[in-house]
Amino acid sequence: MKIEKSAYAGEGLIRVYENKKWMVGIKNWKPANDIANIDCLERHNETDELFVLLSGACTLLYANEDEGGGLEISAERMEPNSLYKIPQGLWHNTVTMKDTKLLLVEDSATGSHNSNVLMLDAQQLAKAKALAAW
């Protein structure tokens, strides 16, 4: 038996470790997470998700639904080496720069079958981009 090492330098997310309970991924910048291309939020309906900023810059966009069915969009600029928990059911997305590297941990059963994607309308998109601007 020996220690296993994983790394990833490509675009987007790769699952570097997974078992029956949880998954660890490395999430790097990809065009869809660039501020110029961000267009949606997602939520995981059954599980939390954890992020740690390893390098670069990332803004976590998140939104709660108001009583009228609209979204109250907010943002949090990530600090390196801090753990950020996205609670189950919270709309969110990551806005990253080209040199960004995140560590992601979530339940291994999290996927499109128990998650939703919400495309942002023009007004929501303008607010999200303003909040995420560096």
Domain around 86: 16-132
Residue ranges with strand state E in 5-130: 12-18, 22-28, 40-44, 49-55, 58-65, 71-77, 83-86, 91-96, 101-107, 115-119
pLDDT surpasses 90 at 134: no
pLDDT at 121: 96
> Mean pLDDT over all residues of the chain?
96
Let me know if residue 2 belongs to a domain: no
Question: What pLDDT shows up at residue 110?
Answer: 95
Alpha carbons within 13 A on the beta-carbon side of 132: 26
pLDDT of residue 52: 98
Q: Is residue 122 part of a domain?
A: yes
Alpha carbon distance 67, 72 (integer Å): 10
pLDDT tens-digit map of 34-89:
999 999 999 999 999 999 999 999 999 999 988 887 899 999 999 999 999 999 99
Within a domain: residue 9? no
- Residue 83 within a domain: yes
Report the CATH number at residue 80: 2.60.120.10
Residue 67 pLDDT: 85
Total-model pTM: 0.92
Domain assignment present for 48: yes
Dihedral over Cα of 121, 127, 128, 129: its sign? positive
User: What is the number of domains present in the chain?
Assistant: 1
- Please tell me the predicted confidence (pLDDT) of residue 61: 98
Does 5 map to a domain?
no
| pLDDT for the residue numbered 120 | 97
